[in-house]
């Protein structure tokens, strides 16, 4: 009975170590975005989002991605670039999206400018979107 218990405890310990090891990798990217359609109440897939960083007096593109079926890009910050404090901008290419949907929109793109500090925090930028309005905030 002790052997079975020891094997069981060892298996549980291995599972918890494996699960714990996977978690930091998933949390490593400091930036994610999410787009939700306010008219339909569902996530918005296929919106291109670009990430830029302000360097001196100009914007430098760092990365881009496309929202998935859940309206998310879970890791937008470049994996090979160390996190640097500064002013960043995500640009939601809403005009391209609405053109594909054959709808008009007032906002061809939506830039969201924000400060990011290198404190190991996660920054999540949700966009609540309709053809003629939007809202955003710092999520988690």
Is 34 a known ligand-binding residue? yes
Answer yes or no: is 108 within a domain: yes
104 pLDDT more than 80: yes
The torsion region of residue 28 among left (phi > 0), alpha (psi -120 to 50) and beta comes to alpha
132 pLDDT more than 50: yes
**What's 49's domain CATH number?**
2.60.40.180
Number of structural domains the chain divides into: 1
Answer yes or no: is 101 within a domain: yes
Q: pLDDT by residue (tens digit) across 10-44? A: 444 444 444 444 444 444 899 999 999 998 999 99
Q: pLDDT by residue (tens digit) across 47-101? A: 999 999 999 999 999 999 999 999 999 999 999 888 999 999 999 999 999 999 9
Quick one: pLDDT band at residue 119, thresholds 50, 70, 90? confident
Answer yes or no: is 122 within a domain: yes
The domain in which residue 94 lies consists of: 30-136
Quick one: pLDDT band at residue 118, thresholds 50, 70, 90? confident
Answer yes or no: is 13 within a domain: no
Is 88 a known ligand-binding residue? no
Identify the CA nearest to 128 among candidates 24, 58, 35, 18.
35
pLDDT of residue 8: 43
pLDDT of residue 140: 83
Answer yes or no: is 12 within a domain: no
Answer yes or no: is 11 within a domain: no
Answer yes or no: is 8 within a domain: no
Residues forming beta bridges with residue 65, ordered by sequence position: 49
Is 138 a known ligand-binding residue? no
Answer yes or no: is 15 within a domain: no
């Amino acid at each position: 009975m002790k052997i079975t218990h020891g094997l069981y405890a060892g298996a549980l310990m291995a599972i918890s170590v494996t699960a714990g090891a996977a978690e930091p990798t998933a949390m490593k990217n400091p930036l994610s975005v999410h787009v939700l359609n306010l008219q339909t109440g569902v996530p918005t897939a296929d919106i291109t989002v670009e990430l830029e960083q302000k360097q001196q007096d100009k914007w430098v593109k760092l990365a881009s991605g496309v929202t998935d079926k859940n309206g998310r890009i879970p890791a937008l910050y470049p994996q090979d670039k160390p996190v640097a404090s500064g002013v960043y901008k995500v640009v939601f290419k809403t005009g391209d999206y609405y053109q594909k949907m054959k709808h008009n929109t007032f906002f061809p793109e939506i830039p969201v400018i924000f400060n990011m500090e290198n404190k190991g925090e996660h920054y999540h930028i949700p966009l609540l979107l309709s053809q003629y309005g939007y809202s955003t905030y710092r999520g988690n």
